[in-house]
Each structure stands twice: as C-alpha cells, then as structure tokens.
Amino acid sequence: MSVADIYQELFEHSPQGMLLIDPQTGVPVDCNQAIVQELGYSREEFCRMRLAQHEILDNDSRIAAGIQQALQTGESRFQSLFRSKAGRSKEFWFTLQIIQAENRNLLLAYCQVASQKQQTMQALQQAWINAQQAHRRLSQELQTMDELQRSIMPAQAYVDQNICAWGIYQPSGLAGGDYFDYLPLPEEGLRCVIADVSGHGARAAFVMAMVRTVFHFQESRALPLSLLLKTLNRQLMQTVGSDGDFVTLLAVDILPGQASLEYVNAGHCPGFFRDESGRMELQATSPLLGVVEDDFQVQTIQLEGSWDLLLYTDGLYECRLQSGDIFGYESFRELCFWLLSQGALDLERLPHEVARAAPELVGFNDDLTSLYVRGALHAKDQEPS
C-alpha cells in the first residue's frame, strides 16, 4: 500500500466528517463516508450541491463566512446548523484549513456533529464570555467612578501659618461614598470634613457628590456648621432617606483667631484629637444624616500650643481578621493615638500599620479615607478678647 493509499484510507474511514471544498464555488470536491451518512445523502448527491445549500440560515451563511476567513487567515473554526436529506436539523462544528493540491487552493474541512452536551457547553461558554464582557464593562465604569471621586477630592495639602491638612482616599474598587475635603473659611481658618455614604456603587457615589456640592457652595462656607448640616440633612431626607441610605459626617471648623476648633459629628466614627495636655475623641454629637431631623449642636475645643487631629472612615477598622472578628474601633483608636504621640502618623502607611498591629488581618473590604490636620497656635494668632 502506498503512502497515498494510506492517506486515502485515513480520509475515507475517519469517524469524523472530512471533505475537500473548492473555495471558489463552495462545492465539495470530495468527502468521506462519515459526513454523507450524517446527512443521509449519497456521495454523488452531496458533491453536486454547494455546502451552504445544506445550511439552515438565520441570517448570513456561516459556511461562506468561514471559507472567506480560511482564505484570509489559513484557518477558520465555526459551527453551523445543517438540514439532513430527511429534513432533520443537525449542528456541526467545522474546522477549515487551506491546503495546496493540484496547483490550486482547496479547503480541507473537518466536521463533527455537536452533541446536546457540546451544544450546552457552547451555550455556557458563550454565556461566560458575555458575563465576562459585562463584568469588564462594569468594572471599567466603577473604575471611572473611582477616578472621578478621587479627582474631586483635594490632591494637594493645605498649608498656612497655623494649619497643615492632608487627606487621602484609597478606593476599594467598588465606587464607594467616602469623601474628605478642606476648604478655607471666608474670614479665617479652615473647614475640614470627612463623610461616608452607606453602601457602594453609583448610588453612594452620587450621594457623595451631593454632599460635596453642598460644602462647596460659596454661600455654604459662610454658614455655621449647625445650619449647614441641618440644611444638608433635610436635603438628604427628601432625596434618599426613604430608602434607608444615610451619610455619616464629621465636620470641623478650625478657627485660629478664636483659638478654637468647632465640630459637629453626625454619626461618624470619632475623630482623634491630641494636644499638649492630652487626648480626646470627637464623639458623635448627632445621629447620622438623612434619617431624622436634628439640631446638630456644635461642640468646641480650645486650642493651645501644637495639636493633631485625625479623621477617618470606618473601613480602616472594620477590616476582617482570620478569626472572623474585625480589627475594631478600640484597637484602631489606640494604634492611632500611639502613632500621633510618636509623631509617626503617615496616612499612606496607616493601612500597613493596621496590618502590622493585626497580623491575622484578612484584608480591607471598604474604601480607606483619612484626613490629618496639624496645627500650632502662637500667642500672636489669638484675637484680643
């Protein structure tokens, strides 16, 4: 038996359908027994018809497209639904490869009936691809929102003769509703704010943008904190309150001329204040925003000498440990006061410090936002009483 005979035998008795196609006409030049048996034609009948004539078309011929692709790239893979001579439909997987024979291009086609399992697998694969594409698009949207959020928060530190303020926002990738800001007050001093909108995603990001807008109105800067928060609270109750959304917010007016710091804490985690005489927590003075009416009473701290203030969002201490517990507020508070006392607080490194203090930390699940203010009050800064 010659080599050519062996190849002919392989072609003829392959359990997989095989055929040679003339790419110009789309008509089979030759085919094996497997393909004609599947479709119920004699070999002569099958080789008289263009391959595309067997297709059950939903729109364009996949055979025609597959031939074009194979001619351009050397190979194509596709599936197509065929009708047998008896009128039954059968799904086929095709692989077309271009070969040279008798001084012309021919297409060698392998075809296999797709089983129900294969069809289900194919549908699952397609669904998986669609889901991945949708996920990619959604991730890109969230990434865009994260970038937008980052861009509307201060990128530079605030520095004047009395105060230095610096904040960072480290997004979780879920487009959260964290917000920090520092805005010079019209007369003198600095207004600092940190806030956290419940939940994640577009809704939280939208509410966060609302909060920022209120703080950035020129008119708002002249408003005392109690009135500003009352206005903001009312707006939030009207717009998002009925759905259970809320905002925790801690706003601080630093007034060097009055040697004081005024704050309102609307359900936000306590700020950490430290000066030469000791330390204190800026506890919540009102419920969180968007839930109930309140008067938002202002609290005052007298400033003397040098002092530090750290504001943050709960993502920094609600991080999960291997035990299933969380790092927790108390542990975080002690860590922060210790760092402040050592003059070693670095906002960029704060998550690392948490991880170092809790070796069994699993990870952070939320946005991480913090705002650090340092001040030093000199006798000449105080207005004469």
Q: Give the pair of three-digit tokens for residue 163.
A: 């105060």
Read off φ and ψ for residue 362, nearest 5 degrees: -85, -45
Between 76 and 265, CB nearer to other proteins:
265
| 244 near other proteins (CB under 8 A) | yes
Q: Which of residues 316-335 bind other proteins (CB under 8 A)?
A: 318, 324-326, 328-329
At its nearest, how many Å lie between other proteins and the CB of residue 226?
A: 15
| 242 near other proteins (CB under 8 A) | yes
Per CB under 8 A, which region of 47-55, 76-84, 135-143, 194-202 contacts other proteins?
194-202
| 2 near other proteins (CB under 8 A) | no
378 Cβ contact partners less than 8 Å away, ≥ 6 residues apart: 162
| 262 near other proteins (CB under 8 A) | no
Q: How many CB atoms lie within 10 A of CB 377?
A: 21
Between 63 and 368, CB nearer to other proteins:
368
| 206 near other proteins (CB under 8 A) | no
| 232 near other proteins (CB under 8 A) | no
DSSP 227-286: HHHHHHHHHHHHHTGGGT--EEEEEEEEEGGGTEEEEEEESPPPEEEEETTEEEEE---B
Per CB under 8 A, which region of 30-38, 107-115, 252-260, 264-272 contacts other proteins?
264-272
Between 253 and 314, CB nearer to other proteins:
314
At its nearest, how many Å lie between other proteins and the CB of residue 277?
A: 25
Residue 61 CA to its chain's centroid (Å): 39
311: β partners: 371
Q: Give the pair of three-digit tokens for residue 115.
A: 């089983």
Q: Which of residues 282-311 bind other proteins (CB under 8 A)?
A: 284-288, 291-292
| 270 near other proteins (CB under 8 A) | yes
At its nearest, how many Å lie between other proteins and the CB of residue 349?
A: 24
At its nearest, how many Å lie between other proteins and the CB of residue 36?
A: 56
Residue 207 CA to its chain's centroid (Å): 18
| 245 near other proteins (CB under 8 A) | yes
DSSP 309-371: EEEE-GGGT-PEETTS-B--HHHHHHHHHHHHHTT---GGGHHHHHHHH-TTEEE--S-EEEE
| 196 near other proteins (CB under 8 A) | yes
Helix (H, G, I), strand (E, B) or coil at 383: coil
List interacting residues with other proteins (CB under 8 A): 196, 198-200, 241-246, 248, 267-270, 284-288, 291-292, 314, 318, 324-326, 328-329, 365-366
